[in-house]
Amino acid sequence: MTTTFRANTQRDLPRIAEKLRLSKDQLADMRAVSAVLPFRVNDYVIENLIDPDSVPNDPIFQLTFPQRGMLEEEDFRRMRDLVVKGASEPEIKLAADQIRGKLNPHPAGQMELNVPKLDGETVAGMQHKYQETVLFFPTQGQTCHAYCSYCFRWAQFIGDADLKFASREADQLVNYVRDNPQVSSVLITGGDPMVMKTQVLRRYIEPLLAAKLPNLHSIRIGTKALAYWPYRFTDGADADDFLRLISEVKAAGKHFALMAHSSHSRELEPPMAKRAVERVLNAGAVIRCQAPLIRKVNDNANVWAQLWRRQVLLGMVPYYMFVERDTGAKAYFEVPLARAYKVFTEAYSQVSGLCRTVRGPSMSASPGKVAVDGVTEVGGEKVFALKFLQGRDPAWANRLFFAKYDPKATWLSDLQPALGGERFFYEEAMEAARAESARGR
Ligand SMILES: *Cc1c(COP(=O)(O)O)cnc(C)c1O
Ligand code: SF4
């Protein structure tokens, strides 16, 4: 067992394929797909979370390894031919860029609509969509200990600088929170900010504390490290320093939360993961858990029920179940909204109230976080009851609206208004916002 971090990338696939007893064909498939979509996995994940006997159906294998079905058949064949015949790097890159361009790298208007401004200038490395919460993307935190094959941030990992949200500017973050008293929460995200050394994290967090901003109530870090690299919290001086940082945030009178990306109960089984959770909680943080519902990874009510139970058992708080976003290899992973609602409901009905802090299944769409809250009939028409959990306009929060039931729909944009409506209530406001941001550029 090694606690020195080492990431495997496309180059290491042959060695891993041997370890997982994969065939030559499977290896060639993986090489082709990983030429287009980012691939990175570390030995902790391979050794502790994947069961080689159940590959390729193993959920964590599906979560972290490139799969043939992630590309359209035609694109897959083109790339596989190039890889197998040993095509040149520029040739492979050209094909990869063309295929990526088709995969909607920027869903939900992230780049255009939610860029904050400070003194009239746009601020890089931040996103401000919901009144209370600012997202901050530290430059050094834009990678992860392993990559999820469905990640909606995939465009950030392929090295195209224009596509990255990033910032070195801790000062800008402080100034922005000070200038915007409606902001109570800073969510540091990535990638996975926990790839950064604590010393680097401190460069962002300490100025926020030193500024004594009365409106700032909480600091959160979004991370998958409890699952992909629990040693980050258990091993060595840097781990200890992170726990100290948590206590310092607490001592400054702020709430500290790890927003743990938690996809499968198996991630929380290794003793090292449990130890990591225990240490973070003992340091005074709260761990809230969220993950998307992904076909072949966790598209099963029992898996979710077990996941929420285990989270509560370890002292974590179930928070969100998301719907897989409209980007990347969505077609491979997507679960129709009707089925997502069914999985959520069947899982929810099996667990105690302690697990029912979870909300979902929720789409992070352009107008906001929209949960499928019911499938029902109104006046003889079968409908989805949808509810805003978060809205670009705070007045939309908790607002219920109806869409025509559609068993195939997988995203908000697939849905039509029900009960004779022509447009959803938020559409006019969204158009105005888009027009305004187009004028601003
Ligand atoms: C989910 C999300 C947040 C955080 O929302 P909470 O409901 O407070 O956890 C903030 N900004 C964006 C853009 C988000 O998608
Ligand atoms: S850990 Fe998060 S940011 Fe990193 S690949 Fe997975 S989903 Fe994407």
Which contacts qualify for 434-437: CB closer than 8 Å, 24 or more apart?
A: 434/109, 434/112, 434/113, 437/112, 437/113
Cβ pair 426, 367 in contact under 8 A: yes
Ligand 2 site, residue 254, Cβ cutoff 6 A: no
Task: List the chain domain ranges.
Answer: 7-100, 117-440
246: closest CA among 228, 230, 258?
A: 258
Ligand 1 site, residue 131, Cβ cutoff 6 A: no
- The pLDDT score that the predictor gives to residue 163 is 44
413-to-394, 406, 417, 424, 426 alpha-carbon distances in Å: 21, 12, 11, 11, 13
Cβ pair 432, 397 in contact under 8 A: no
Q: Return all residues near 200 (Cβ < 8 A) that are at least 6 apart.
A: 138, 140
Ligand 1 site, residue 110, Cβ cutoff 6 A: no
**β-bridge mates for residue 221, sequence order:** 188, 258
DSSP letters along 199-250, please? HHHHHHHHHHHHTT-TT--EEEEEE-HHHH-THHHHSHHHHHHHHHHHHHHH
Sign of torsion over alpha carbons 200, 280, 2, 29: negative
Ligand 2 site, residue 153, Cβ cutoff 6 A: yes
- Alpha-carbon Rg of the chain, whole angstroms? 22
Question: What is the Cα–Cα distance from 96 to 361, expressed in whole angstroms?
Answer: 32
| Best mutation site among 111, 113, 128, 129 for ligand 1 pocket (most ligand atoms within 8 Å of CB) | 129
The C-alpha angle with vertex 38 and arms to 63 and 51, in degrees rounded to 5, equals 30
174: closest CA among 216, 128, 236?
A: 216
Helix (H, G, I), strand (E, B) or coil at 287: strand
Number of Cβ within 10 Å of residue 2's Cβ equals 10
Residue whose CA lies nearest to ligand 2 atom number 6: 148
The C-alpha angle with vertex 22 and arms to 18 and 27, in degrees rounded to 5, equals 90
295-to-63, 67, 235, 299 alpha-carbon distances in Å: 10, 12, 34, 5
CA 146 to chain CA centroid, nearest Å = 13
- The pLDDT score that the predictor gives to residue 158 is 62
The pTM is what? 0.94
- The pLDDT score that the predictor gives to residue 142 is 84
CA of 192 to the centre of ligand 2 (A): 7
- Ligand 2 atom nearest to 143, measured from its CA: 4
Ligand 1 site, residue 127, Cβ cutoff 6 A: yes
66: closest CA among 22, 25, 27?
A: 27
Per DSSP (E only), the strands in 9-93 are 41-42
CA of 143 to the centre of ligand 2 (A): 8
Cβ pair 189, 137 in contact under 8 A: yes
**β-bridge mates for residue 393, sequence order:** none
Q: Return all residues near 91 (Cβ < 8 A) that are at least 6 apart.
A: 82
DSSP state of 320: E
Ligand 2 site, residue 148, Cβ cutoff 6 A: yes
Question: What is the Cα–Cα distance from 241 to 202, expressed in whole angstroms?
Answer: 10
What is the homologous superfamily of the domain 117-440 according to CATH? Aldolase class I (3.20.20.70)
Question: What is the Cα–Cα distance from 283 to 246, expressed in whole angstroms?
Answer: 6
Ligand 1 site, residue 130, Cβ cutoff 6 A: yes
Q: In this structure, are strands 317-323 and 359-365 parallel, antiparallel, or unpaired?
A: parallel
Cβ pair 256, 286 in contact under 8 A: yes
- The pLDDT score that the predictor gives to residue 170 is 85
Give the length of the chain: 441
**Tens-binned pLDDT, residue by residue, of the chain (441 aa):** 457 898 999 899 999 999 999 999 999 999 999 999 889 999 999 999 999 999 999 999 999 999 999 999 999 999 999 999 999 999 999 999 999 888 877 665 555 788 899 888 888 889 999 999 999 998 888 889 999 988 866 676 665 544 445 455 788 999 999 999 999 999 999 899 999 999 999 999 999 999 999 999 999 999 999 999 999 999 999 999 999 999 999 999 999 999 999 999 999 999 999 999 999 999 999 999 999 999 999 999 999 999 999 999 999 999 999 998 877 778 888 999 999 999 999 999 999 999 999 999 999 999 999 999 999 999 999 999 999 999 999 999 999 999 999 999 999 999 999 999 999 999 999 999 999 888 765
Sign of torsion over alpha carbons 408, 321, 305, 307: positive
- Ligand 1 atom nearest to 133, measured from its CA: 10
